[in-house]
Structure 1
């Protein structure tokens, strides 16, 4: 029996790749009580470069109070992982679920900091279950 391939998972680096922040209604022009409605969109993109995997977590947030747009934020957070010994569905799940779950806490902190530095009350993004998100997306793509 052939020896099973050695499995390896190493986080090489994590950083913020890009940030775009549009303050549509500056804080000093807000007339309504601060009870925002935030729309959060997440996207995960993966690329393979040699023996390394690059995973990008793209966060888009649109904040409104009543029908007035307050701000839009789009930020991309990138990580490089050295992943060996995983293939097929297992590798796909690692790249699209486990890796974004590692990046997300860094991204949450960055988003909160950007919003606070713009003078708005902090925006605390809720935790995300990337495993459930991955399963739902996988089922949707299989059904199409």
Structure 2
């Protein structure tokens, strides 16, 4: 019997190398006056992620989480955390790299960012803020659909 001579493909590897806060900001522009107001806030959550190759099969993923909380027109606080991680990723097909960077890695980073935001808010003397879990898989899929729609629009306009 003859064997097919095919090069062995390395097994996919995924390893978390490091998790760290890259940047943090907390602002309370209307303190201490805001503490006397009736606490019925409206919060806005903004998420963003960025990926940078930092070495052979090493990627830095930065998840930016910004929470703006207002009482009426007054900003009670603005909390922003850039939670980063360095991931060793190799052996995955190109089609899987996008979802890994855009959904899987942010999923790993989000609990750390959520804890940092909660700590900042508490240390600012505001009631505890618990951010709900985020479905990064759905956000990534939505982002990809939006990009496809934009590409189709550009193709039609040319």
Smaller-chain TM-score range?
over 0.9
> 1:80-100: CA deviations, max 9, x gaps?
000011132201110110000
Deviation at 1:68, TM superposition (A): 1.7
Give the Cα–Cα distance (whole angstroms) in 1 for the partners of residues 80 and 34 of structure 2: 22
Map of 1:92 onto structure 2: 98
Deviation at 1:28, TM superposition (A): 5.0
Pick one of 140, 148, 152 that aligns with 1:142.
Answer: 148
Matched, 1:56 2:58: no
1:108 touches 1:124 (CA, 8 Å); kept in 2? yes
| Runs of at least 5 residues in structure 2 that lack an aligned partner in the other structure | 1-5, 151-158
Question: In terms of Rg, which structure is larger?
Answer: 2
> 1:55-76: CA deviations, max 9, x gaps?
0000111100122211112210
RMSD: 1.3
Map of 2:80 onto structure 1: 74
Give the Cα–Cα distance (whole angstroms) in 2 for the partners of residues 58 and 129 of structure 1: 15
2:26 touches 2:79 (CA, 8 Å); kept in 1? yes
Give the Cα–Cα distance (whole angstroms) in 2 for the partners of residues 18 and 62 of structure 1: 16
